[in-house]
Amino acid sequence: MNWTISNQSLDPQQLLVNESLFSLGNGYLGVRGNFEEGYPEGVPTIRGTYINAFHDLAAIHYGEKAFGYPEVRQKLMNLIDAQTIRLYLDDETQPFSLFSGDVVHFERTLDLQYGFSERLIQWHSPAGREIMIRFRRLVSFVRRELFAIEVTVEPVNFSGRLKIVSTVNGDVENFSDASDSRVASEDEAHLDVLSARNDGAVSLVTDQAHTSKRKVSCAASLNFSVPAETQLAVLPGSVETSATVALNGPVTVIKKTIYTDSLRHGQQTEQTAAALLRGLDHVPFSKLLEEQQTYLDRFWRLSDVRITGSPALQTGIRFNLYQLLQAAGRDSVSSIAAKGLSGEGYEGHYFWDTEIFMLPFFTLTQPELARGLLLFRYGLLDSARRRARVMGHRKGALFPWRTITGSECSAFFPAGTAQYHINADIAYSCVQYYLATGDDDFLARFGAEILFETARVWMETGHYLNGSFRVDGVTGPDEYTAIVDNNYYTNAMAKYNLYWAAKAAGNLKAADPGCYTRLSERLQLTDREPEEWAHAAKAMYLPYDPERGINPQDDTFLQKAVWNFAETPPGNYPLLLHYHPLTLYRYQVCKQADTVLAHFLLEDEQTLETMRRSFDYYEKVTTHDSSLSTCIFSIMAARLGDTGKAYDYFKTAARIDLDNTQGNTRDGLHLANIGGTWMAIVFGFAGVRIKENGLSLRPVLPSAWKGYAFRLVYHGRVLSVSVAGEQLELQLTEGSRLSFKLYDQPVELKSGQTAVFPLHR
């Protein structure tokens, strides 16, 4: 149960949301949940198909420009549209539409267990003909280039003819909304149609990005369950296939579509697409469904989270985990964009969200995918080195705040480039992956270099004053406060980065002197640098206010007036859309968790009471205008023993997209929040932590639930965690032996062993 989401709405605004909710993807290819037949004129739509990292370039225009401002932005492209299938009955001139005739029944479903979406329709045409229609579609997890649609039409009260018109359209453009800064970019970036033609029964369209010159090709074919009379037509920028069949009983048509791009497939994209499509000639849709199920069986075996006592939240968490899987890049040139492959919000860019909010799920359930996502960042090191030089650093690498291929795409530096913490976020995730997997090869070949190069930038960004190491002129996660000195989050994360860079240098030098020497020579790393990193980490200044007993967000945050929340109209949230940034910067008001996030990630830096007082203080001034926020407050509330408050925050986070609570799900799903909901269960309610001294758990049970269960992959072992009623059950389902801490007490499990413990309240 609770493996599907369903919707029957034809409300225009809900249709936009549903296009995101019912999107399908596989990390490479993403298709929004649009109707195959389209909508009538006047009904808004964001019709989209995307390939992860496929982008064009456009100039960034400034009224006033200074040195080092990015000049070019990268923008994910809406690609060739192969979704369109129109159905005509007998001599009726208007095709089937859910906005005409009489809709007797309509429901669409996304099946999270089997990996496809479905629409079931019973419809009377304007002329009184009644048909049953079933649309099923999938983006294959096994064949990354494949998008397939199966349409079955069955007559109810007549026999006649059915005309099917299938289109592959290369003349497409991106969506923009000038009223919303998150999707308001200019549209100079676009695709040019290079060719549109037929090769026998195959439709072929090739487009090229106007400036980046990257090519994408689409090959599509139709297969019918009954004899069909087919006509092919090449139109400006598109190819149309028309087929007429006898509709005396059920008729099924399968449309298979292959997408290839020059980034992965070389310049012969069209030939490659056609060849891949030919290889699918005799593969039935049922076989594709079987492949999806087999793939997802393996995924859910390790990744499923089971909640007993709340069907809505059970559906919500499974939907979220499924969307993470759909969004995660599986190759060296892609990662997870802020909206995944479900929409165009934030232009397909990768942020810190990936490492801090999404990577933990993969690290502890699908570590091979986590490794790949970290290797993507490693592949951007040279670009990050170039960015560091532009920003005045003689050594090291500075990762861009938002990017696709490595160059900085943020035009607003106070809330972009100034967020230097992205360097520490990536370093932190490398260490977390290493601690969770014991992957020495990763650390030696890739992770150490990331740690060294990011540490170097901190040494040049920070400085010593009165014996403490301080970091000035940066922006923390809270984008309602910018360009500050000693942002607590940034300093705490930089400390971790520096500490682990020094530790990794020592460990690598001892374990593999040759490897360390080669890396040192390539980076021109001096013998003194690791010592300097260790000293800076030890001397790092972490702001503390003795009067309040809290960690100030930065040096001046507590000196500002508190935002007047009482007189702020509800319609003025999010504040960023209604107030100038400088207005926000002058007040104590947080867009999202900042210091509270640092307390979660690095809880050993402060006492429990300091974290408790900080939580209480920042809770009063945080708007949660960012979707990244409530999940973190949930985790910290659980850590501080307030399970009820943790549950309330979790409920808000778990269904942000399903309930469109932030009002912008139309632009794509909130992937960071989606990852954060898994974190809220595993790191929050279950109290899981991965530290240098090992794995630990401190589970609690929200009073609204009867229980919950999940699995963790840790150092190649699989630990099953089940909380129910007053007890906790732990089982080592894979691996010979596992030692960890439970409620700060040592526990050891042997292979296959199950142990039951009383649940702490």
Residues with catalytic annotation?
Answer: 479
DSSP code per residue over 324-353: HHHH---STT----TTTTS--GGGG-B-TH
Q: How many CB atoms lie within 10 A of CB 394?
A: 10
Token output for 24: 């399908």
Token output for 698: 């401190």
| Helix count and strand count (H, E) for the chain | 21, 31
What letter does residue 89 receive in the DSSP assignment? E
User: Residues 6 or more apart from 195 whose CB is under 8 A from it?
Assistant: 204, 205, 206, 270
Identify the CA nearest to 351 among candidates 366, 365, 335: 335
Contact 726, 759 (CB under 8 A): yes
Distance CA 584, CA 478 (A): 11
Sheet containing strand 745-750, edge to edge, reads 689-691, 694-697, 737-742, 745-750
Distance CA 130, CA 90 (A): 12
Distance CA 748, CA 459 (A): 41
Q: How many CB atoms lie within 10 A of CB 539?
A: 16
How far, rounded to the nearest angstrom, does the alpha carbon of residue 209 sit from its chain's CA centroid? 24
Token output for 726: 């007053």
Q: Which helix (H) or strand (E) holds 260?
A: strand 251-261
User: Residues 6 or more apart from 57 whose CB is under 8 A from it?
Assistant: 72, 73, 74, 75, 189, 209, 211, 212
Contact 17, 10 (CB under 8 A): no
**Peptide bond preceding 12 in cis form (omega within 30 of 0):** no
One-letter amino acid at 696 equals S
Cβ burial of 174 (10 Å; 0-12, 13-18, 19+) is buried
Identify the CA nearest to 375 among candidates 389, 355, 358: 355
What letter does residue 94 receive in the DSSP assignment? S
The neighbouring-strand residues paired with 178 are: none
Contact 55, 62 (CB under 8 A): no
Are β-strands 707-714 and 306-308 bridged in parallel, bridged antiparallel, or unpaired? Answer: antiparallel
Distance CA 713, CA 302 (A): 8
Cβ burial of 558 (10 Å; 0-12, 13-18, 19+) is middle
Distance CA 358, CA 678 (A): 9
- What is the CB-side half-sphere exposure of residue 292 using CA atoms within 13 A? 26
Distance CA 337, CA 346 (A): 8
Identify the CA nearest to 78 among candidates 146, 171, 16, 168: 171
Distance CA 298, CA 113 (A): 11
Distance CA 727, CA 329 (A): 38
